[in-house]
Chain A
Amino acid sequence: MATFSGISTALSSLQAQRVAMDVAGQNIANVSTPGYSRQRVNMTAGIGVDVSSIERLHSGILGDRARTEGARLGDLTVTSAVLNQIEQVLPEPSTSGLQAKLDAFWSGFADISRDTSNAAARIQVIAQANVLTDTLNDAAQQLTNISASHTKNLTNLVTSANSYAKQIAELNISISQTPEGTTAINALMDQRSYAASQLAEAVGGTYLIDSSNNMSVSLGGATFVGPANHSTLQVATAGGTTSVQWSRNDSTAAISSGNANGYLTAISTTIPAWMTSLDAVASALTTTVNNAQAAGFDSAGTAGTDLFTGTKASTISVALTDGTKIAASSVAPVLGVASLNGSNADAMSALGRSANGADELYQNLVVSLGFATQGAQQTSETVQAFMASITSQIDSQSAVNIDEEMANLLTYQRGYEAAARVLTAIDDALDTLINRTGLVGR
């Protein structure tokens, strides 16, 4: 055994404990950094001790599951938020919603039927008809606005997805140039997996890490991020259809999850479907009321004309301004004298109960919207809970526990102190050997 080997043994320990304390310090510093995976110093015994690597405690499988569920959750969160917004456009049950306005409208006809010569009741019905059409127009406008705002959201989302894709590609390059088992590469890999989880939440996709530690991302088989390069996405609106396309060849990108899918579904399916239902309400209102008008005679004894025009929620409007034009009487004039019979107004007051009338269609709409919103909320809550359980599994493996780090710090500190003591002991022994031995007779 060489005379001075003990010194280098102690030195290697001093160095290793210092590295270990640095890593513990790094862990504690990142206790609340999103995406940070704790690191551990792997030491191996040789001549003294060696720091063989600084390991990043991270599970690829859990990371994958978190990305998949994150993408699903991203989709469901948007879907549920959109349905919530639509529900706010049609606030029911309430005393100010469309149903209350329909009730008041039909009720106005009953007022006329009791006294067909009552001009005030007739004016009231015209006013109430205007309130109805305004409410329908406004609801249609709000649905259009919601759709437009989500198109904007989609554009912003695609921009940030592109920047995450760029980050991943750049990190791939940096990682390939950084030596393995170091704090530096661990930090880069954390950044990359954080960017990947953000990208997954935005647009979904498939994530693969190859043998040379490059991450690739593909959407429906088409490459989004390669080992050193990435493609870009763009939002295109053509002929009223919004889609996400590849900038390289304007072909539609296959997006099946993530926020982007939520927005796309909202813009192209969900909102148009509820708009169609609302149009059906408007159409039923126009048809039933106009048919009833045609069956009667107004104050002057003339056959009734259309009260509403337009069969869409966005275009329905009131065609009459004069209350006397409401065809309250079911009887034609006798000898040129208009009848004050109110049977037709009476029949119109009962239109609210007609099968497939505006009221029934609207109630169906509200109820199915309620069920859809409730369902979306519940599904998104379920996936959220599932996501939380995956996150806690990841955390139990990768997140920093201060107690643990403090204990480690203590161990390494004591190790450092002990190694220093060893050094002192060897130094003392050598001192004895070198300075105090062989002095006989001097």
Chain B
Amino acid sequence: MTSITRFASGSQSLQNMDSVSSMSKRMAQLQEQISSGKAIQRASEDPSGTRSVMALRAEQTRMSQYAQNIDTGVLRLNATRIQVDSINNQLLKARELVIQGQADNSTAGSRSALAAQIDVIAASLLIAGNSDFAGRALFNGATSAATAYNAGGDYIGDTNQVTTRVDDSGSTVRIELNGPEVFGVGAANAFAVLTAIADSLRNTPGNLPANLVSLDSVIATARGAQATVGSRINQLNELHDVTADRILGVTGALAAVEDTDLTKSVMELTMQQTGYEAALFATASIMQPSLMDFLR
């Protein structure tokens, strides 16, 4: 015989109620998980899971910012590349003109025509030098001035860098080139050299060989800029892929922690439901009869 020999009518129904209501509570919880699609409704259900969810959500936001940083960087560098390519082409054209001006059969008249062409190239280079991307000058460093070069071809920007963050470690990539890096520095810059060439073609053809040396140095600078821009675009493109992978990884990790495992939850709910119905049935059949029903 067990220690409890009597079983009171009242406590019997109370205990049945208890087990039935705890089952229906668990069912409500499962239903909430299924309908919301989230396994963790409140921090107390899974405190460490909650921390993961919060950290992963923050990481997700950061990663998408890095992705935007990279995309914006690529756009700006592409705009830079187009300008640098055209600058290079025009400098090469200027070099041809200088060579033509040095030819034995050149005359003062033909040289003057060449000088006019050089002037056109210089003007177009100035436009390229002051070109902008989304309203901001491409080649003026980080200054808020609207242009990089004044009409005389003097650099009026600064040499502060514009960088963009690409990952959590704080790595940055420079997304601009300043004027001197493309056109050369000070008196040796493209505009000064072209002005000198035009002057030589018109007045002192003897200076042209020396001008050519200066021009070659300008061209070398522009070529270097071209290579730099290209390699940065490549770098950003690779980072773009890496970041996209990271975003996928974070999203997957978040889903694993946070999302309801539907198969598992639905199975569990079905099991709970079966148990619940069984408990209700048992309660109904236990609670009904007492001796009173049989005494007449």
Contact of A99 among B10, B38, B58, B290 (CB under 8 A): B58
Residues from chain A with a CB closer than 8 A to the CB of B162 are 340-342
Question: In whole angstroms, what is the CA distance A342 to B290 when docked?
Answer: 83
Given the interface pairs A340-B136, A392-B15, A396-B8, the reply to whether A103 lies near B42 with Cβ below 8 Å is no
| B47 and A371 form a contact (CB under 8 A) | yes
Contact of B65 among A107, A366, A368 (CB under 8 A): A107
| A339 and B9 form a contact (CB under 8 A) | no
Q: Mark A50-91, 1 if CB is under 8 A from B, else 0.
A: 000000000000000000000000000000000110010011
Question: In whole angstroms, what is the CA distance A334 to B145 when docked?
Answer: 10
Contact of A93 among B43, B69, B136 (CB under 8 A): B43
Contact of B43 among A337, A373, A396 (CB under 8 A): A373
Question: In whole angstroms, what is the CA distance A337 to B145 when docked?
Answer: 7
Contact of B9 among A31, A102, A366 (CB under 8 A): A31
Residues from chain B with a CB closer than 8 A to the CB of A349 are 62, 65, 165
Given the interface pairs A370-B44, A406-B295, the reply to whether A363 lies near B51 with Cβ below 8 Å is yes
**Interface status of A407 (Cβ within 8 A of chain B):** yes
**Interface status of B24 (Cβ within 8 A of chain A):** no
| A406 and B290 form a contact (CB under 8 A) | yes
**Interface status of A170 (Cβ within 8 A of chain B):** no
Residues from chain B with a CB closer than 8 A to the CB of A18 are none
**Interface status of B229 (Cβ within 8 A of chain A):** no
Nearest neighbor of B61 in chain A, beta-carbon distance: A103
Which of A84, A91, A366, A407 has the most chain B CB within a 10 Å cutoff? A366
List residues 346-370 of chain A with CB under 8 A from any CB of chain B.
346, 349-350, 352-353, 359, 363, 366-370
Question: In whole angstroms, what is the CA distance A331 to B54 when docked?
Answer: 34
**Interface status of B40 (Cβ within 8 A of chain A):** yes
Question: In whole angstroms, what is the CA distance A329 to B15 when docked?
Answer: 69
| B165 and A117 form a contact (CB under 8 A) | no
List residues 361-397 of chain A with CB under 8 A from any CB of chain B.
363, 366-371, 373-374, 377, 388, 391-393, 395-397
Residues from chain A with a CB closer than 8 A to the CB of B272 are none
Interface of A is mostly: helix
| A359 and B292 form a contact (CB under 8 A) | no
| B160 and A350 form a contact (CB under 8 A) | no
Nearest neighbor of A331 in chain B, beta-carbon distance: B160
Q: How far is the CB of B105 from chain A (nearest CB, A)?
A: 49
Contact of B44 among A31, A373, A402 (CB under 8 A): A373
Given the interface pairs A107-B65, A110-B65, A339-B143, the reply to whether A99 lies near B54 with Cβ below 8 Å is yes
| B18 and A340 form a contact (CB under 8 A) | no
| B136 and A399 form a contact (CB under 8 A) | no
| B168 and A339 form a contact (CB under 8 A) | no
List residues 105-163 of chain B with CB under 8 A from any CB of chain A.
134-136, 142-145, 158, 160-163
Q: Mark A117-146, 1 if CB is under 8 A from B, else 0.
A: 100000000000000000000000000000
Q: How far is the CB of A40 from chain B (nearest CB, A)?
A: 12
| A93 and B40 form a contact (CB under 8 A) | yes
**Interface status of B258 (Cβ within 8 A of chain A):** yes
Residues from chain B with a CB closer than 8 A to the CB of A391 are 11
Residues from chain A with a CB closer than 8 A to the CB of B258 are 93
Question: In whole angstroms, what is the CA distance A339 to B145 when docked?
Answer: 8
Question: In whole angstroms, what is the CA distance A396 to B10 when docked?
Answer: 10
Residues from chain A with a CB closer than 8 A to the CB of B55 are 363
Given the interface pairs A117-B144, A340-B136, the reply to whether A366 lies near B50 with Cβ below 8 Å is yes
| B62 and A114 form a contact (CB under 8 A) | no
Question: In whole angstroms, what is the CA distance A103 to B69 when docked?
Answer: 16
Residues from chain B with a CB closer than 8 A to the CB of A331 are 142, 158, 160
Q: Mark B170-209, 1 if CB is under 8 A from A, else 0.
A: 1010000000000000000000000000000000000000
Given the interface pairs A334-B143, A341-B142, A349-B65, the reply to whether A404 lies near B6 with Cβ below 8 Å is yes
Q: How far is the CB of B113 from chain A (nearest CB, A)?
A: 40
Question: In whole angstroms, what is the CA distance A95 to B51 when docked?
Answer: 14
Contact of B144 among A103, A337, A398, A402 (CB under 8 A): A337
Residues from chain A with a CB closer than 8 A to the CB of B5 are 396
List residues 68-92 of chain B with CB under 8 A from any CB of chain A.
68-69, 72
Residues from chain A with a CB closer than 8 A to the CB of B47 are 366-368, 370-371, 374
Residues from chain B with a CB closer than 8 A to the CB of A103 are 57-58, 61-62
Residues from chain B with a CB closer than 8 A to the CB of A369 are 43-44
Report 26 cross-chain contacts, Cβ distance below 8 Å, ordered by A residue. A84-B44, A103-B61, A104-B61, A110-B65, A114-B69, A115-B72, A115-B134, A337-B143, A337-B144, A338-B144, A343-B163, A352-B58, A363-B51, A366-B43, A370-B42, A370-B50, A373-B42, A373-B43, A388-B18, A392-B4, A393-B4, A401-B8, A402-B290, A403-B291, A404-B6, A406-B290
19 A-B pairs besides A110-B68, A331-B160 with CB distance below 8 A are A87-B44, A93-B53, A114-B69, A117-B136, A117-B144, A334-B160, A337-B144, A340-B144, A341-B142, A341-B160, A341-B162, A346-B164, A352-B58, A377-B44, A395-B8, A399-B8, A401-B8, A404-B6, A406-B292
**Residues of B at under 8 Å CB distance from A?**
4-11, 15, 18, 38, 40, 42-48, 50-51, 53-55, 57-58, 61-62, 65, 68-69, 72, 134-136, 142-145, 158, 160-165, 168, 170, 172, 258, 290-292, 295
